[in-house]
């Protein structure tokens, strides 16, 4: 109607084919008219356009419509309601164009379009009041909830949305953004982490509801170390008061985990110790607490220990030790040596464990690298901490060559036997003399064997000596380099008694450490094979395997040999059926009591006056050959090297040396790592 009341500017219907009525009207500064009311007509006849809801929901729905200033059409028109009766009673509009509607509803939240609040739950029959805010047509709503442990979390800042809204007491949030909005929403509240940590949006053109987040309490750490006044780490200190009462480790460090905002007191405890400070109190922890260190003291002192010289140096192993002369008033619970390639090794480096208490001890260093300098210190630990002895250093041997050498025992008369070590011949050549030991082979030496009995990659020499008729003793010496006497490494006074015929070094279990195979004569042609561990020091070897059958016959000699290059040795058995008729048979070595399996036979290469055999890798290809010492006449002994047979075949001649072995040669052995 015009201002004078004399005529209509515009006038028209809002409705459909059923009962529809308006309840309230509001105007904005531009002259748009906003109408709210109740509609029984469905979208089939009611003039819906744009929204907020273009579908009638059942019985009566509230409706809202915006009419342009000229009254010629709708800017928007739509329903608000659920499946029951809904009515809009009043309407208002703010200066930005947002519309506010109040009314009543019989529809529960399952069908009524609740969002954000103030209450998202229908409270019961017959009806609830409702209030709704309708954004401008060029804005859309982003809304959701934030929960922690299944409960609403209030006060969460939804950073990135306009005005950074907070979640309410129900954990709900909502904000309107311009249509086409781009941005990232990141929830935040002190002491919490969120999943997902954020959500990114691009070109938003429709409402985004159920944009929910799950929060978890932020966990923080309290950490530090506990050491003596001298700086020695204290292990096993209980950090009472921290959740789970964690303890310090071997390095003296500890870490406790607490929730954000935690308050409490941490008290270190260990029998016999007092601590400075005695405790630390915390209130509302909001960040990780590092460097929370303590100093512990007792009435005891550190042990006193010294380091012994390094001996038995190989490519990958060595022997050292120490002597604990004072426990410092508290029992020494651990001792040994530690080593490394830098000066001042500690128990944080590789180290051994060699008992407890006072006194001297022997330590074995393993896992070393060839041709490398190492530093060694003995250590001893009591309740006051760990102390270290003087430092010693040594250099491991260079990596051994691949090809084996040949050790020869020669008799100079009576019980004077000398050992000579030569390079093995490949082709027709004379071996080169590498070392001589004029003492270790003395006595009634019956046989020798080269083997790596300590696993250091360098072979030793095992000597079988006959003390009396059936009394045999085994001695293990280092092999000579140059003119020197070998060092005694081990002796077994027991396992070799009886009528021992021959010995051989053989790695029957493939562990890289040789055992000793012993051939004993039980009767005329009854020979038994025993395999023992080699002695370290004065001790009896442990029986590893027995074969009662494979060595029977007129057996002359045995040798350990890896004929297939698989790292596990077989046993070569030389038998003498007639005067100058020799047969070589190769069997698997026994583990336990079992008969060896025949792997190969050579009936030709060993004929003649064969004196001794040994397994030797003469060409360094990882597969052993057989070295054969033959007596041609008097003191004329020649060496032949043949390939080992697999199946029934004749070995191929690989090398010959017709000079080095002349004289009263008795037995030979192949040695590596020389």
**Whole-number Å distance between alpha carbons of 358 and 588:** 47
Cβ neighbours for 232, distance < 8 A, ≥ 6 positions apart: 252, 302, 384, 385, 386, 387
Torsion of CA 169, 170, 175, 181, to 10 degrees: 130
pLDDT at 489: 81
Mean pLDDT by groups of 10 residues along the chain of 674 residues: 86 94 88 93 93 92 92 91 95 86 94 90 88 80 92 96 92 85 94 96 88 96 92 92 95 96 96 91 96 88 93 81 92 96 96 95 90 96 89 83 69 73 71 76 78 75 79 78 76 79 77 78 80 78 80 78 76 76 78 80 77 77 77 76 79 77 71 62
Pairing of strands 665-671, 653-657: unpaired
- Partners of 147 in the β-ladder: 152, 214
pLDDT at 355: 94
CB 89 within 8 A of CB 102: yes
Tokens 């870490």 identify what position?
Answer: 255
Cβ neighbours for 194, distance < 8 A, ≥ 6 positions apart: 146, 187, 188, 213, 214, 215, 216
pLDDT at 201: 95
Domains present along the chain, CATH in parentheses: 20-134 (no CATH), 139-217 (2.60.40.1120), 219-297 (2.60.40.1120), 304-395 (2.60.40.10), 405-671 (2.115.10)
Six token digits for residue 184: 């990232």
Structure confidence by residue, pLDDT tens digits, 533-576: 887 777 788 888 888 887 787 777 877 777 777 777 887 777 78
Six token digits for residue 107: 């529809």
Answer yes or no: pTM beyond 0.75.
no
**Whole-number Å distance between alpha carbons of 590 and 594:** 6
C-alpha closest to that of 62 among 99, 94, 7, 116: 99
pLDDT at 612: 83
pLDDT at 403: 65
**Whole-number Å distance between alpha carbons of 94 and 345:** 79
pLDDT at 108: 93
How many other C-beta atoms can be found within 10 angstroms of the C-beta atom of residue 582?
25
pLDDT at 401: 53
Pairing of strands 653-657, 581-588: unpaired
pLDDT at 211: 96
């Amino acid at each position: 109607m015009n201002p004078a009341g004399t005529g209509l500017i515009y006038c028209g219907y809002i409705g459909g084919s059923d009962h529809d009525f308006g309840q309230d009207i509001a105007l904005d500064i531009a002259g748009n008219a906003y109408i709210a009311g109740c509609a029984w007509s469905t979208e089939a006849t009611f003039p819906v356009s744009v929204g907020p809801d273009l579908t009638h929901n059942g019985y009566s729905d509230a409706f809202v419509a915006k009419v342009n200033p000229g009254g010629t059409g709708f800017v928007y028109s739509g329903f608000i309601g659920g499946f029951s009766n809904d009515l809009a009673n009043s309407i208002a509009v703010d200066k930005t164009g947002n519309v506010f509607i109040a009314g009543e509803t019989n529809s529960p939240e399952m069908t009524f379009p609740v969002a954000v609040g103030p209450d998202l739950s229908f409270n019961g029959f017959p009806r609830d009041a409702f209030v709704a805010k309708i954004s401008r047509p060029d804005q859309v709503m982003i809304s959701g909830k934030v929960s922690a442990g299944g409960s609403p979390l209030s006060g969460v800042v939804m950073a990135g949305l306009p005005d950074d809204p907070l979640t309410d007491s129900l954990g709900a949030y909502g904000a309107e953004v311009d249509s086409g909005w781009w941005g990232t929403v990141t929830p935040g509240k002190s002491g919490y982490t969120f999943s997902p940590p954020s959500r990114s949006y691009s070109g938003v053109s429709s409402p985004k509801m159920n944009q929910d987040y799950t929060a978890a309490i932020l966990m923080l750490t309290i950490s530090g170390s506990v050491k003596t006044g001298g700086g020695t780490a204290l292990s096993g200190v209980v950090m009472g008061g921290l959740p789970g009462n964690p303890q310090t480790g071997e390095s003296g460090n500890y870490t406790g985990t607490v929730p954000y905002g935690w308050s409490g007191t941490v008290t270190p405890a260990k029998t016999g110790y007092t601590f400075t400070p005695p405790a630390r109190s915390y209130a509302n922890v909001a960040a990780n607490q590092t460097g929370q260190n303590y100093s512990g003291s007792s009435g005891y002192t550190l042990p006193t220990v010294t380091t012994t010289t390094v001996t038995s140096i190989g490519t990958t192993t060595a022997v050292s030790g120490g002597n604990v002369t004072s426990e410092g008033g508290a029992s020494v619970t651990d001792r040994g040596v530690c080593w490394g390639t830098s000066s001042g090794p500690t128990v944080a480096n590789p180290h051994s464990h060699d008992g407890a208490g006072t006194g001297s001890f022997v330590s074995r260093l393993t896992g070393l690298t060839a041709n490398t300098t190492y530093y060694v210190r003995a250590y001893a630990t009591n309740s006051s901490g760990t102390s270290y002895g003087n430092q010693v250093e040594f250099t491991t041997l260079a990596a051994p060559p691949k090809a084996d050498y040949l050790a020869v025992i020669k008799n100079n008369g009576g019980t004077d036997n000398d050992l000579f070590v030569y390079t093995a011949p490949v082709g027709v050549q004379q071996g080169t003399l590498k070392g001589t030991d004029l003492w270790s082979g003395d006595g009634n030496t019956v046989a020798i064997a080269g083997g790596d009995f300590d696993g250091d990659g360098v072979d030793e020499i095992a000597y079988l000596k006959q003390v009396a008729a059936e009394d045999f003793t085994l001695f293990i010496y280092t092999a000579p380099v140059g003119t020197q006497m070998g060092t005694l490494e081990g002796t077994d006074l027991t396992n070799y008694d009886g009528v021992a015929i021959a010995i051989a070094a053989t790695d029957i279990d493939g562990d890289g450490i040789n055992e000793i195979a012993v051939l004993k004569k039980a009767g005329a042609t009854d020979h038994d094979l025993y395999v023992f561990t080699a002695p370290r020091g004065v001790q009896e070897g442990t029986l590893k395997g027995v074969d009662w059958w494979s060595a029977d016959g007129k057996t002359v000699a045995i040798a350990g040999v890896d004929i297939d290059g698989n790292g596990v040795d077989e046993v070569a058995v030389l038998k003498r059926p007639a005067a100058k008729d020799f047969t070589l048979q190769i069997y698997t070595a026994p583990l336990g009591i079992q008969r060896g399996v025949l792997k190969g036979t050579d009936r030709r290469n060993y004929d003649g006056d064969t004196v001794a055999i040994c397994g030797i890798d003469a060409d360094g290809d990882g597969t052993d050959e057989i070295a054969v010492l033959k007596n041609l006449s008097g003191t004329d002994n020649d060496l032949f090297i043949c390939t080992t047979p697999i199946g029934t075949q004749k070995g191929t001649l690989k090398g010959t040396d017709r000079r080095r072995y002349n004289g009263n040669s008795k037995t030979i052995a192949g040695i590596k790592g020389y």
